[in-house]
């Protein structure tokens, strides 16, 4: 029973690790570091144990609110032996404005053990509101991001060691301010290759999105693509890592 409870806590968190960083603003005069066809694959590890696989992919450009949006899809699933105790198969989709680089729609389908959930929110960026399926509307800051589009926006930024960016993010009916500290540069080697990276630390200004305690660290490549190379978060026992294993362009 203890093993099952630990897995129940670990795998939903690993499915979220790749969606942590957020930002808001405009893409004017900025060259995008990603395009349709990019697919990133990660190995999710609990300590030395391989617990799952996650992918992030820019699948296509679709019509959205009179403009164009990137359709970004991320999937996370458990692998053996974790699946024997607690199977996870989650998918998340974001529609991100090609020009303004903000979220217009966020959808999440959750399959974790016997638990099933489907969550959707539409962001009206002109009216500055988040709209939920039950009709509830919540005021949001201009250019607000969801937890998936946020990471792609951070990749467009000119990151500098010793500086922070301050961000607005919306999830689960609430707005969450976020500071992202750029701590240092560091070279790391992962299955996808060797990368020089910015080491960044996102710090929530309000609790509630991610219930784990302890420091989260993210490695973003220093080249113009700012690919997420590795993420680590401490949990009650040990740590969870998301490690880049493959990049397709």
pLDDT in tens, 121-154: 999 999 999 999 999 999 999 999 998 998 898 9
| Helix ranges (DSSP H) in 17-98 | 82-85
Q: How many CB atoms lie under 10 A from the CB of residue 172? A: 10
pTM for the complete prediction? 0.84
Task: Summarize the confidence of residues 200-223 as an average pLDDT.
Answer: 69
Q: Sign (positive/negative) of CA torsion 101, 102, 105, 110?
A: positive
Q: How confident is the model at residue 214 (pLDDT cuts 50, 70, 90)?
A: low
Residue 25 has pLDDT above 70, yes or no: no
Give whichever of 17-21, 50-54, 80-84, 238-242 has the largest mean pLDDT.
Answer: 50-54
Structure tokens at 175: 């707005």
Long-range contacts from 73-81, C-beta under 8 angstroms, 24+ separation: 74/18, 74/19, 74/148, 76/14, 76/15, 76/18, 76/44, 76/52, 77/52, 77/53, 78/11, 78/51, 78/52, 79/50, 79/51, 79/52, 79/53
SS3 state at 39:
strand
Residue 215 has pLDDT above 60, yes or no: yes
> The domain containing residue 147 runs over which residues?
2-248
What is the spatial distance between Cα 100 and Cα 103, in angstroms, rounded to a whole number? 9
pLDDT of residue 211: 36
Task: Summarize the confidence of residues 90-100 as an average pLDDT.
Answer: 96
Listing DSSP states for 145-185 in one string gives B-TTHHHHHHTTS---TT-EEEEEEEETTEEEEEEEEEEEE
pLDDT of residue 66: 78
Name the domain count of the chain: 1
| Helix ranges (DSSP H) in the chain | 2-16, 82-85, 149-154
pLDDT of residue 3: 45
DSSP state of 37: T
Q: Report the CATH number that the domain containing residue 83 is assigned in CATH.
A: 2.40.360
207 against 113, higher pLDDT: 113
């Amino acid at each position: 029973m203890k093993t099952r409870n630990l897995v129940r806590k670990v795998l939903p968190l690993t499915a979220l690790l790749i969606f942590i960083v957020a930002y808001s603003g405009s893409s004017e005069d900025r060259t995008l570091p990603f395009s349709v066809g990019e697919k990133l694959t990660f190995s999710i590890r609990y300590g030395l144990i391989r617990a799952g696989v996650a992918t992030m992919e820019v699948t296509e450009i679709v019509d959205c609110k009179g403009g164009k949006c990137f359709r970004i899809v991320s999937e996370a699933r458990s692998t053996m032996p974790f699946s024997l105790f607690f199977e996870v198969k989650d998918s998340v989709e974001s529609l991100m404005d090609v020009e303004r680089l903000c979220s217009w729609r966020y959808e999440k389908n959750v399959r974790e053990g016997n638990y099933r959930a489907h969550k959707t929110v539409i962001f009206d960026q002109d009216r500055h509101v988040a709209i939920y399926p039950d009709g509830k509307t919540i005021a949001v800051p201009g250019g607000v991001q969801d937890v998936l589009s946020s990471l792609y926006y951070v990749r467009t930024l000119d990151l500098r060691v010793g500086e922070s960016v301050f961000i607005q993010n919306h999830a689960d009916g609430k707005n969450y301010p976020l500071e992202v500290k750029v701590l240092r540069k560091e070279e790391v080697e992962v299955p996808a290759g060797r990368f020089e990276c910015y080491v960044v630390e996102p710090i929530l200004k309000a609790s509630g999105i991610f219930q784990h305690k302890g420091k989260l660290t993210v490695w973003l490549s220093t080249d113009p693509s700012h690919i997420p190379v590795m993420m680590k978060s401490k949990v009650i026992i040990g740590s969870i890592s998301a490690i880049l294993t493959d990049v397709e362009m």
